Amino acid sequence: MSSLVIELPGAPELESELGEARLVPGPKGDAATVAVGTVMKGSVPEVTNVGTASDAVFDFVLPQGDPGPGLQFDWDGTELGVRVAGQAEYEYTDLRGPAGPAAALISVTLAANGWVDGEQTVENALFLSSGRAYLVCAASGSEAGYAAAGVRALDVTVDGEMTFVCESAPVGSLNVSVLSLEVSP
């Protein structure tokens, strides 16, 4: 079987040689895409298109480089020092976060005979009615009595005072721990 090859000249030459023939641009085609497929380690670098001519997906084979010098670490309080093996100086970064809210632990005793109509108020200058939040719990050894009496603390509404209420008067005195935390108004 024989083949026929026709060579066409460029556009300006085509127009002049074919007389009335005109080249008309066709509709705009879809944009081509390029994506990275797999990247693997090998001994010889290689790139292969596993997609199509208009939707290319390139798989890469890359040789592994020589190992680097390695890193050395030093810990100094809240600072971490890092240096490349063989270097004389560590570069330190302080890993300490911002200061947390100011806190105070307040220990109070709820006297067994201090309950009046299911309430007892204790005084401490650290109780403030604004700018503080309080976490209240029974201290070690008072947990059972605190729970059995249904004791709970009320919000601080008067500076220097915290009021506790109970469902039933505790049998003995109770030790209570109050964590006072600074909060933004």
Between 55 and 2, whose confidence is greater?
55
pTM of the model: 0.49
Write the pLDDT tens digit of every residue in 74-124: 998 889 999 998 899 999 999 998 888 789 999 999 999 999 999 999 999
Whether residue 170 has pLDDT greater than 60? yes
Is 12 strand, coil or helix? helix
Closest CA to 125 of 179, 156, 161, 155: 161
Q: Which pair of structure tokens corresponds to residue 95?
A: 């890993």
Question: What residue ranges do the domains of the chain occupy?
Answer: 33-65, 67-97, 103-182
Write the pLDDT tens digit of every residue in 55-68: 999 999 999 888 88
Q: Which pair of structure tokens corresponds to residue 38?
A: 């797999």
Q: Which pair of structure tokens corresponds to residue 172?
A: 């003995």
pLDDT at 26: 77
Round to whole Å and give the CA distance between 142 and 145: 6
DSSP annotation of 162 reads E
